[in-house]
Amino acid sequence: MFFSFRNGILSVAAAVFLFWIISSLVNWFFLDAVWFGTIEDCRLHQDGACWPFVGVRFSQFLYGFYPSAERWRVNLVLGIFFGAIGLLVYERMPYRSKIVIFMLCVFPLFAWFLLRGGVLWLADVPTGRWGGFMLTLVLASVSIVASLPLGILLALGRRANTLPFVKAFCVVFIEFWRGVPLITVLFATAFMLPLFMPASVNFDQLLRAMVGFILFSSAYMAEVVRGGLEGLDRGQYEASDALGMSYWQSRKRVILPQALKIMIPGILLTIIGLFKDTTLVLIIGLLDFLGMIQAGIADPRWGSPNVPFTGYAFAALVYFCFCYSMSVYARYIEKKYSEGRDRR
């Protein structure tokens, strides 16, 4: 920082600038903020954040327009989801494989029927009333769960030199979806996909968005998986062939378990990007977490200059907490498996 006179001046200037920025943010977020009251209090004190806006709208930010009497279903789904994530993070947790199978195979169907309703005694709640952070988690989790196995198949197909037609299809699929902006994909699935369906088929808009996210994220996931497969030592492929294993036996028992250790950090980073990209569903009329905040900001009853900044600051804080937590876990996994490879 003080290697030379010029570096010292720049370092002092940067320190002063950072101190000014941090102190201003602390004052705006905490010291000068309005924590309790109504919109009138926010209008009278415009030097800080208007946190009553978040407090009044918090349930809408979380549930969207989901009926109040049925929100216990959302709470149950979120409780199981975050509870299972917490159990899986604990590496010494017994029956981890069974929990993974439950979350991948059983939980998505259970969550869909519970949230959608219309079966047994559950009231029907159309997806048009879903929104808020609940919708963000639904889009992200479904896209992640569906894109990972599809990405593995695409990566294996791209490396299938003995099957030229399969390889060509996988290459075209991956390069096409990776070369198209996600906004274009969402527009295509929302407005063009129904044109290819029979007139009697009513394809739900949320399902159309999920199809777009799955196709888009599977192409990126395939490249992450392909990087893991190519990073594996060639001797592992030769050893599995020498043991007389078939193609699928070697991939299941030898190649993929080892390549997965290389893939995990890249997969988690792809998941982080996908989680943030869910905000783009606003352009096709789905109000996710950020969309509900923007809808609240547009309410003329909250006509205070600090309300938009407070809403976007709250959204940034929530996304930062989730994405940073996943990033820390990704670095931990990367460090753990890299240390294991170094010891070998």
pTM above 0.95, yes or no: no
Q: Does domain 32-66+125-343 have CATH number 1.10.3720.10?
A: yes
Q: Which residues contact 334 (CB under 8 A, 6 or more apart)?
A: 264, 265
* CA distances to 86, 89, 222 from 94, in Å: 13, 12, 30
Q: Which residues contact 219 (CB under 8 A, 6 or more apart)?
A: 151, 154, 173, 174, 175, 176, 177, 178
Please state the domain extents for the chain.
32-66+125-343
* Rounded CA separation 1/19 (Å): 16
Comparing CA positions, the residue from 228, 65, 223, 212 lying closest to residue 142 is: 212
Angle between helices 51-63 and 71-89 (to 10 degrees): 90
Quick check: 216 and 182 in contact, CB under 8 A?
yes
SS3 34: strand
Q: Residue 343: what pLDDT?
A: 52
Residues of the chain whose pLDDT is less than 50?
A: none
Tens of pLDDT, residues 271-328: 888 899 999 998 888 888 998 998 888 888 777 778 888 889 899 999 999 999 888 8
Tokens at 286, concatenated: 């789905």
| Residue pointed to by tokens 């990073």 | 231
φ, ψ at 288 (rounded to 5°): -80, -160
Amino acid at 122: L
329 exposure class (CB count in 10 Å sphere: 0-12, 13-18, 19+): middle
Tokens at 68, concatenated: 């109040």
Angle between helices 132-158 and 107-116 (to 10 degrees): 150
Tokens at 113, concatenated: 């029927």
* Rounded CA separation 208/202 (Å): 11
Q: Residue 62: what pLDDT?
A: 92
